[in-house]
Amino acid sequence: MSLSPWRIHGDNAKTGPRREPRSRDIEPAPDRARCRPALAGYREIVTFDLTPTVAQHDLVTRVHEFAQDRIRPVAAHYDRTQEFPWPVLEEAAERGFYSPLFYRDLIGDRTGLSLPMFMEELFWGCAGIGLAIVMPALALSAIGQAATPEQMLRWAPECFGTPGDLKLAALAISEPEGGSDVRNLRTRAVRDGGDWVIDGHKMWIGNGGIADVHVVNAVVDSRLGHRGQALFVIPGGTPGLELVRKLDKLGCRASHTAELKFDQVRVPNDHLLGGPEKLEHRLARAHASAQDGRGDSATMGTFAQTRPMVAAQALGIARAALEYMTDYANRREAFGAPIIDHQGIGFPIADLATRIDAARLLTWRASWMAANGVPFERGEGSMAKLAASEVAVQTTERAIQTMGGWGYITDHPVEKWYRDAKLYTIFEGTSEIQRIVISGALGAAGGKPPMHFGLEPSGGPLNKMFGRGTEIRTRAATAALKMKDHVPEPVRKAAMKVLRPPR
C-alpha cells in the first residue's frame, strides 16, 4: 500500500495560601479566587479518574470522525492557500462544536477531561483549522473571567453567531514590544466622560480585524503594572480599529492572524468588562497592596485557564505525527525488515510515545485542577503546556527524519505538522516563560510536598481506619499470617480474596 498524499493510515480514535509563580515582571499568578485551595473546604473535589464517561466517549468519537472526514481532506488546501476555512466552521457549528454554550459546558465539566479530549481530537485533524474553530473560545474565556453576568449574556453569543450566520471573536493581548512581559504592554485606555478612548498596537492576534468581537487588554493605570490593566470589548468596524496586515505565518496557516492598531477607538463604559465599580475596587486594592507585589489580573487568569487547553492542542499534533510515522515505519522495509525493527528507528518512537502519554497525563491533571479550583502551586498548568508543546516539536521532527526525503516534501503531512507544532513553544507563553513560571512556583513552595499531601482526602472515616495500607489493616494481616497454620482453609481463602490486589 502506498502512502498517498495526506492519507492517514491506522485510524486511532482513542485519546489518550500560594499560587502559581508570581514574577513581578513576567506572567504573574492567576486570581486567587479562581484557583482557591480545595483543602480549605470551599467545595467538594471530584476524584481524578481516567475512565471516560459515556458522554466523553461519544464526544471523542464524534470529534474524531469530524476531524478525519471533514478536516483532514481539506487541510492541505487551506494550508497552501491560507484561506479562512468558513465551510469547515459552518459544519462545526451545525454539529454543535462552534457555540458558546458548548465551550462553557466543557469548561464546567468537573472531571476536567472533556475539554482536553475535544481539543486533542480536533487538532489531530489540523492545527490551523482547529485554531480557526476554537479561537472565539479564547475570547470567551477572557469574558468569563472578567465580565458581569449581563455582559456575558450580551457578548458570548456575538463571539460565535449561529449556523448560517457565523461570527468571530478575537482576544488581543500581545504587542510588538511586549508578549510575555505583561508589564511592558503599551495600549492605553483613558476615560472620557461616559466613554473609554483606546490607543495602541497589537500583534499576532487570532481573528484580529475580521472578528465581530475583539476583547482587548489595555492599561488604565500605568503605576500598577499588570494589575493596572483592564479588558474591553471593541466590536468589529468600530472607528479607529485598523487591520494593519494579515500575517504570513510558518504554520497554522488556515487560521487568520493579524497586526492591529487602535487610534482613538471610543467605546462606551458598558464595554469595560466587569464594569467601572469593579475596576475601581480592583485598582484601589492593587494600590493598597502594591508594596508586597500582590494583585489580581483577569488576563493572567485567562492564561492559567487556557494553558491546559493549548497543551491538548499540541498533543493532537504530536499524536498525529506519531501515528503516521509508526505506520510508515511498520511498512517501510530496509535491510530485510521493517525499519521500526531497527533500534535507530524504533527506540526514538518508543521514547516519544512515552513522552506523549506523560504530557497527556500532565494536561489532564492540570485541567482537572482548574475544573476543581485546585491552585497551580507548583506550576502544574505550565508543566502541561511545556511538556506538550516540546514533545509536539520533537515528534514532528522525528517523523520527518523517519520518513527521510518523503517527510521533507508536501506529498505527506508531516512537514506541515512540523511547521504547525513550532507555534506551541511560542504562543500562550513561550517554553522559556513556562520554565520561569515552574521554577518560580517551586521556589515559592519552599520544599512543600506534592499536591496529594494537601488535598482533602476522600473515603470517609471507615476508609481511614480500614482502607488499604492503614495501621489496623496491616496489624490484622500480620496477625493472620502468624495464625495461618491454625485457620481452616476456607477462612484463609476468604481472607485472601479481601486482601488480594484488584485484577
Catalytic residues: 428
**Cα(464)–Cα(478) distance, rounded to whole angstroms?**
19
Pairing of strands 195-206, 188-192: antiparallel
User: How far apart, in Å, are the Cα atoms of 410 and each of 4, 6, 245, 400, 491?
Assistant: 11, 9, 27, 11, 68
Tell which phi-psi region holds residue 26, choosing left (phi > 0), alpha (psi between -120 and 50) or beta: beta
Instruction: State which amino acid sits at residue 117.
Output: M
Q: How would DSSP label each residue in 437-499?
A: HHHHHHHHHTTPPPGGGTSPP-SHHHHHHHSTT-HHHHHHHHHHHHHGGGS-HHHHHHHHHHH
Q: Which three cell numbers stand for residue 202?
A: 497589537
Q: How would DSSP label each residue in 341-390?
A: GSHHHHHHHHHHHHHHHHHHHHHHHHHHHHHTT---TT-HHHHHHHHHHH
Close Cβ partners of 342 (under 8 Å, ≥ 6 residues apart) = 334, 335
For the chain, what is the total number of helices (H) and then of strands (E)?
A: 17, 11
Q: Which three cell numbers stand for residue 165?
A: 450566520
Query: 386, 392, 407: which is closest to 308 by C-alpha?
Result: 386
Q: How would DSSP label each residue in 22-65?
A: --SSS--PPPGGGS--GGGTSSPPPP---SPPHHHHHHHHHHHH
Task: State the SS3 of 406-424.
Answer: HHHCCCCCHHHHHHHHHHH
Question: How large is the greatest C-alpha to C-alpha distance in the chain, in angstroms?
Answer: 91
**Cα(14)–Cα(115) distance, rounded to whole angstroms?**
15
Tell which phi-psi region holds residue 237, choosing left (phi > 0), alpha (psi between -120 and 50) or beta: left
Q: ∠70-71-76 over CA atoms, to 5°?
A: 125
Close Cβ partners of 314 (under 8 Å, ≥ 6 residues apart) = 123, 359, 385, 388, 389, 391, 392, 421, 424
